[in-house]
Amino acid sequence: MYSKEQIIAQILTGKPNGVQLEKGAVYAPANIALCKYWGKRDSILNLPMTSSLSISLAQKGSHFAFEVVDEKTDCLNLNGQSIDAQHDFYQRLFSFISLFRHNGEPRLNIAITSTIPIAAGLASSASGFASVVKGLNELYGWQLSCSELSLLARLGSGSACRSLWDGFVEWQHGSRDDGMDSIGIPLEYKWPQLRIGLLLASSDKKSISSREAMAITKQSSSLYHLWPEQVATDLAMIKSALAEKDFIALGHASERNAIAMHATMLKAKPAISYSNAKTAAWVQQVWQLRVDNMPIYFTQDAGPNLKLLFLEDSTDDILQLFPEVEIIQPFLIEA
């Protein structure tokens, strides 16, 4: 078993370790997994049991601004609000950043502006940690590649290793104990007509963290032994659907994968459910729309919110049927 510090030392060997830039700002997009990561083979390094595949959300993500300060403590501002040092988020963020600092130096003022609800299962930890490692890369002038930053981001949150790129990204699970081959790989496929509809069922903090829920599921769900095979099937189908631009195949495989993940959690002891009444009603609505021949699918992460998958030409219908939806164009990427 390796520690995070050992892995970081391996990646940063020969890189500068003093401040190169006193002030800077970076951005990383959120990502939604079409084939999910659920369960770790190493919970320190966030090494997954299986590979996964995501789509990044372009302008939905985390803006991260840093400034070196001559103070005794760090300051954190989240979406315009000052965050207390006792807060979970403050502690998680600075304990990660401290892996890269020497005796807590340099002290930092950090401002994170998230364009998605934090901790509502909308992958904000993914864009958050990806933006942190991009910020540290600027601060220290490491000049790391996106692949190296992906390895570092994974140490903060597994799914963050997919948020270093726009578009489709596969996280290959890898087999090495040090995780050096467990990394995000950007995929070539472009699909400008693809749309993601965000349906917010609640922006409250999730009832149980994904870290805890994964561990309980892996340990106690009688369905977990089926998960790796499910992922292998769904991942192959999703990749061939992307290659052939077959939306129905993409939608089916993505929705089936999300349902399998949540079913596996329901069989954990104790059972874990992230859905609420709104989630359940939207799922029924999507299924009914498909009976009525509308090409619409959903996926759901570790929270009650639903993400609709559809194509550009369904946009008007979707806006009418789901007035509260927020539509993302993953390939509308601002320069």
Binding site for ligand PMV (CB under 6 A): 33, 36-37, 52, 123, 125, 157-159, 210-211, 301-302
DSSP code at position 91: H
Minimal distance, residue 158 CB to ligand PMV, in Å = 4
Minimal distance, residue 33 CB to ligand PMV, in Å = 3
**Nearest one of 316, 326, 47 to 181, comparing CA atoms:** 47
Could you write out the DSSP letters of every residue in 132-190? HHHHHHHHHT----HHHHHHHHHHH-GGGGGTTSSSEEEEE----TT-TT-EEEE----
Q: Which is closer to ligand PMV, CB of 83 or CB of 161?
A: 161
Q: Which is closer to ligand PMV, CB of 52 or CB of 314?
A: 52
The sign of the dihedral angle between the CA atoms of 221, 222, 227, 233 is negative
Q: Which is closer to ligand PMV, CB of 162 or CB of 195?
A: 162
Q: Which is closer to ligand PMV, CB of 52 or CB of 131?
A: 52
Minimal distance, residue 36 CB to ligand PMV, in Å = 4
The sign of the dihedral angle between the CA atoms of 318, 124, 151, 232 is negative
Minimal distance, residue 95 CB to ligand PMV, in Å = 15
Q: Which is closer to ligand PMV, CB of 52 or CB of 150?
A: 52
Helices 146-156 and 4-12: crossing angle in degrees, nearest 10, is 160
Q: How far apart are CA 280 and CA 308, in angstroms?
A: 13
Minimal distance, residue 125 CB to ligand PMV, in Å = 5
Phi and psi at residue 178, to the nearest 5°? -85, -5
